[in-house]
Structure 1
Amino acid sequence: MQWRRHVAGFAFCFVFVVSCFTNKFVLSVLKFTFPTLFQGWQTSVGAVLLLLCGKLGWVELSRISRSAALPWIPASLLFVGNIYAGSRALSRIDIPFFFTLQNCSHVVSHVILRVAHGQKTQRLKSISICLLLLSAINLPLCDPKFDYGGYLWAVGHLLCVGDLVGALEFPSLQSHTFHCGCCASALLGFLLLLATVKLKSGLSQEHFGIWNFLSKVTAMSLSPFIFSMDSNAPSLMCVVISHAGEALLVYSDREPQL
């Protein structure tokens, strides 16, 4: 029923926002700048929870042959790069600016489709791609606290999505806040995965794109109330233009291909 789709969408939006804020808290506020350990912790907890859900019959797990797993290796490497570079970037860049740069992954995907498959582009999609690219290029020039390293990691992140800075202070292992933050991040990451699968199974890719867009806008709108943020009119304009371009991209995906 239609109301069930909305429930799944709101659940995805809620988990997306809380997961994003938790990751930002652990990476920025608690200064946990060791993405490899962070990723390993999340993967371990997620694997245990997934196996537990499989044992309880909540999800269906099937064995994967070696021949079927081999084609996944390139995508797995890109996924590792995505998480590592994304964690580095998120620890140093404000959430609205991070999403503005991340939106350029649509540009990377667009170029790959044009070159590899010769896919034609609608006029609306071309305009949206230009808006995404223009806002991302101008954002570093407008950011009042430009961080070269953070933006460099963001570029690596968006490249991995579309297709060591010196160690800082390590959080005290006796910190209950640190333990709770890492546990919550791992648990929310697992819940976000389940919510994503549930939402995609009940909706088309275009409708999933709408919920994903709404989730990012919600996270960006609430983030200044949770985390300190230095911004100015030009940088905020880049954020607005980027997500106007993404909204146009989502709308163009719903239009019939010419």
Structure 2
Amino acid sequence: RGRRAASPSASSTWPPASPTRWQTLVGGLLLHISWKLGWVEINLCSRSEILSWLPASVLFVGIIYAGSRALSRLPIPVFLTVHNAAEVITCGFQKFVQKEQTSHLKVCSVLFLLAAAVCLPLCDTQFDPNGYLWALIHLICVGAYKVFHKLWKPGSLSDLDQQYINYVFSVVLLASASHPAGDLFSALDFPFLYFYRFHSSCCASGLLGFFLMLHTVKLKSSTTSGQYAAWSFLAKVITASLSPFFFVMTANVLTISCLVIGGVGEALLVYTERTGT
């Protein structure tokens, strides 16, 4: 994941949906086992609340599926820059639909994020239309997920409850959609399908994703929104900075400028969260 496909033939050797299914399956199993062993607390007593959360689970599937597709074609810094532009949707919803007061600094930060995401494809010397299309779908799903979470009336479902439902729903939906989407046959043509290292890496990714999810839930519950935003921003900066050492990435001055503008926009957004402006 996170590598740039050099050509259409190269991109066809990468089955982005298969790792997604493995990761959600491993994560769901680990969360279920942790629940049964009493390591985490999950309460799914209310069927009505579970059903009310299903639209968010649909968006969650869109987030991970489109994100996996995009990451198979775009470098990680590029993907994160487009991903961050989802804040445009949530900010626009708050300002124009809910009529909330939005500070000029927050509007400025969102405009920076939007400018970076819009200009990045225009400056990319290795522009991949399919990669950016999947990144756009991922962006829309992330923004819609945040809006739904903001509108959803919180009840007895905790963050872990929501994640458990997301895991179960994504495993069922991705498995049932593998044949209609053509991913089943494309996976059979994958040259490394029968290599144990491929499957072990998928399982390891699911394991790391599970622990990252647990850490994220704990961090959100023990910190303020501003502190959580700062930690999230720091994690993205570290990930984007280290990714060129592991994945091939070709960038020019304009591309780097877009990445910097996106970083500045998110830094301003974190500042507004911490100061409440």
TM-score band w.r.t. shorter chain: 0.7 to 0.9
The answer to whether the aligner puts 1:141 opposite 2:122 as a matched pair is yes
Q: Tell me the C-alpha RMSD between the 2 structures.
A: 2.2
Quote the residue 2:94 is aligned against: 113
The answer to whether the aligner puts 1:92 opposite 2:70 as a matched pair is no
Distance (whole Å) between structure 2 residues aligned to residue 165 and residue 241 of structure 1: 38
Distance (whole Å) between structure 2 residues aligned to residue 55 and residue 128 of structure 1: 44
**Which SS does the other structure have where 2:43 is aligned?**
coil
1:169-208 aligned within 5 A = 169-208=189-228
Structure 1 residues 202-254: Cα deviation after superposition (integer angstroms, max 9, x where no partner) = 10111111010000000111011111111111001000000100000110112
Assess if the C-alpha contact under 8 Å between 1:149 and 1:165 holds in 2.
Answer: no
Q: Report how far residue 66 of structure 1 moved.
A: 1.4
Q: Report how far residue 172 of structure 1 moved.
A: 2.8
- Aligned pair count reads 233
Quote the residue 2:41 is aligned against: 60
Assess if the C-alpha contact under 8 Å between 1:82 and 1:157 holds in 2.
Answer: yes
Q: Give the TM-score normalised by the residue count of structure 1.
A: 0.84
Assess if the C-alpha contact under 8 Å between 2:70 and 2:131 holds in 1.
Answer: yes
Equivalent AA in structure 1 for residue 248 of structure 2? S
Structure 1 residues 94-125: Cα deviation after superposition (integer angstroms, max 9, x where no partner) = 01110111111011111111232111110110
Assess if the C-alpha contact under 8 Å between 2:225 and 2:274 holds in 1.
Answer: no
Quote the residue 2:133 is aligned against: 152
Equivalent AA in structure 2 for residue 24 of structure 1? G
Q: Calculate percent identity across the aligned residue pairs.
A: 47
Quote the residue 1:125 is aligned against: 106
Distance (whole Å) between structure 2 residues aligned to residue 165 and residue 101 of structure 1: 26
**Consecutive unaligned residues in structure 2, runs of 5 or more:** 145-180
Quote the residue 1:162 is aligned against: 143
Q: 1:33 aligns with which of 12, 15, 23?
A: 15
Equivalent AA in structure 2 for residue 217 of structure 1? V
Quote the residue 1:49 is aligned against: 30
Q: Report how far residue 58 of structure 1 moved.
A: 1.4
**Which SS does the other structure have where 1:88 is aligned?**
helix
Quote the residue 2:53 is aligned against: 72
**Which SS does the other structure have where 1:71 is aligned?**
helix
Residues 219 and 33 of structure 1, relative CA distance in 2, 3 Å threshold: same
Q: Give the TM-score normalised by the residue count of structure 2.
A: 0.78
Distance (whole Å) between structure 1 residues aligned to residue 235 and residue 12 of structure 2: 24
Distance (whole Å) between structure 2 residues aligned to residue 223 and residue 135 of structure 1: 19
Deviates most, 144-153 or 37-46: 37-46
**Consecutive unaligned residues in structure 1, runs of 5 or more:** 1-22
Q: Report how far residue 160 of structure 1 moved.
A: 0.3
Q: Report how far residue 29 of structure 1 moved.
A: 9.4
Quote the residue 1:231 is aligned against: 251
